[in-house]
Structure 1
Amino acid sequence: MLAYADTRNIGDEPSATDVPGLNVSRQRRATELSPVLYEPIFCLVLQGAKQALQGRRMVDFPKGHSVIVGIDLPTDARVVEASPERPYVALALKLDMGLIRELSAEAGADEGTGREVAAISAAEADEAIIDAMGRLFALVEKPTALPVLHPLLMREIHYWLLCADHGSLLRTLAQADSHASRIADAIGTIRNNFEQPLLVADLASSVGMSVSAFHFHFKAITGATPLQYQKRLRLIEAKRLMQAERQSVSSAAFSVGYESPTQFSREYARMFGLPPVRHARVPAPAPAPEYESPGWM
């Protein structure tokens, strides 16, 4: 396992490094289950433990575990093991899906091996991925080596993830005609147009699937129906608009596609446990690094 001492100068919350796509997360206390949006990401837990939901399935990732999120996933997560003396610490790397497809074609990865396909999966990390992540993190202190070694290490890490037993979703996403790749295309459409009314039949047709098959595979992968998925995206974005861009409750509601501020307030309170006006009054946080995902582990 990577030396914990290497991360002791990292503050609480996600912290960007000088290595593109690599963040370090550190939390000194356990947190409540709360909504978060994960983009495709790989996480290596160095200390402590965390949990995330995939539908009704709780995914645990304690120390020494490798976590893969293969698609954009609005979900709920919490830190379950952390203290000032032994905080939760994890390395989080933004995944390059183009590189996944390239490596899959070169290696001839078998999409049928491994566990069932799910948006988020975790398993004990093997020595190969731990070693590669250690060398990637070491580039923080070797900036002159970064341009040469970073592309090589990214290829190596993505290769090991593609081969991992819990990398099934990555393998299926690399196959252009797989159900997972079609669902990923649909998710891209939802993300780019989440403020628009969602016509599930049209979306299913656009990716070449029947409505029943589309519903089945969408929920199997994301743990939510398409409409539930869109709703979570809308509410997470509304929170960001109120906190980061200081929009009013009604302005945020209309921006994400709600026609009724009353319905928005009701659904927002159900998801976040507080009425939106409470979040609208929170001071805006500092701008995030340009490559930071909304849901770093």
Structure 2
Amino acid sequence: MMTLLIFSQGKCGLSKGITRYMTAMATGDLMVLVFSVIVSQIIKDYFPGSLLKYTLACRLNVFLQGLSLQLSIWFTIAFTFDRFVAICCNKLKARYCTERTANVVISIVSAFNIMVNIPLPFRYEPTHVLNNEQLGCRTIASYHTSLAWAAHRWLTNITNMFLPIPLLLLLNSLTAHHILAASRARRALKSNRGGAGQMGRDPELKTRRTSIILLFTISSCFIVLSAPITVIHICVGVTRLVAFQGSSSLYVTVRLAFLLMCTSSCTNTCIYALTQRRFREEVKNMLKYPSSLLCKPRY
């Protein structure tokens, strides 16, 4: 919430396009915290009398939970691609890295993920009916035998698990390779001009090194936190295991992998945003003067 509020003020010195992506990423992360953690893991387990006992609310939460996880992942990939274009594609940079393009990309990503997750509520049926009210959620019998549901499972696994990690690695690797090549060329040029003694203090090279560290930090965090659930999905798909015993070590492993995946959605905004000096200043200002961001909006 604090991140969204800060970005809405436009005081972080970022371009409007980057601000749009950062806001979208923060929104996706917040949705994960609300629907995948607070609602699905806390309210559902510790407040059995909540609205989630009704089938309609349960189905809606399943849809929002799946949507939030996918939005968090693909907003990050969209932002990474935008930075790839900005660094590696000079001819395309002026046309692509704009606020208008960012709005279009965010809208397309959101619409696609909404369509992918629309079938999720229909995966469940009421556990029982009491006084004409549908209660509880259980998987329909045809879910494990229908070809349509099998195709949907593959689609969600590809978009959630199998595609994001290689795609993010590819974009960051290409970006890092471009930065390294440009740095070598800059060193060679300075050396030919007799500026070898000042290369260690070259602010441009320092900025590029920081960019490489940032890119690989993003990749490492995403892979480390998302890989366990990806491996489990592959194993479950191969062994066709669909149920777990509550006391089994496999169940504990699945829960831990899910925890790591939810944690992954919270690191992206921190890695990108907290590296910005002006963002940190706005955080300090908000902590010192909470009313300042509310009373003095900047558009």
Please confirm whether the aligned pair reaches a TM-score higher than 0.5, indicating the same fold: no
**Larger helix proportion of the pair:** 2
**Larger strand proportion of the pair:** 1
Q: Which has the larger radius of gyration?
A: 2
The structure with higher relative contact order (CA 8 Å, sep 6+) is 2
**TM-score between both structures, scaled by the size of structure 2:** 0.26
